[in-house]
Amino acid sequence: MSYGYEIHPEAQKEYLKSIEWYLERSDFATQLFIDTIKHGIAVICNDPKMFKKSKGRYHELVLLRCPFTIVYKIDPLAEKVVIMAIYHQSRNPKLKYR
């Protein structure tokens, strides 16, 4: 069963900021980033428990095509995942949990 999703406002800001950064460099890289994030979210929604718990109730999907990690939590009653961070892997890892 596929879950729905929502993106936390801070994660949305991170995502849009990353798109802006990519747009300044390459249309191809921007599209690759967008497609990779969309695909990652679709995989998470298809089977949210597939990915390891990293801290408390947070799960992580480390993306292979872009240096980002999608941090999310599962709301089983609402059957949705909440994307908490779209986190560049070069940043301080302690900051990816809200």
Residues 6+ apart with CB under 8 A from 3: 44, 45, 46, 48, 74, 79, 80, 81
| pLDDT mean over 67-84 | 94
Domain boundary assignment for the chain: 4-89
Q: Enter the tokens of residue 85.
A: 């961070």
Q: Is the pLDDT of residue 96 over 80?
A: no
pTM of the model: 0.89
Q: Is the pLDDT of residue 43 over 80?
A: yes
DSSP states along 44-59: HHH-GGGSPEEETTEE
Class of domain 4-89: alpha beta
Q: Closest Cα partner for 59 from 3, 16, 9?
A: 3
Residue 36, Cα to own-chain centre: how many angstroms? 10
| pLDDT mean over 74-92 | 90
Percent of the chain with pLDDT over 90: 73
* Phi–psi pair at 51, nearest 5 degrees: -100, 145
Residue-level pLDDT at 22: 96
Residue-level pLDDT at 1: 62
Residue-level pLDDT at 97: 65
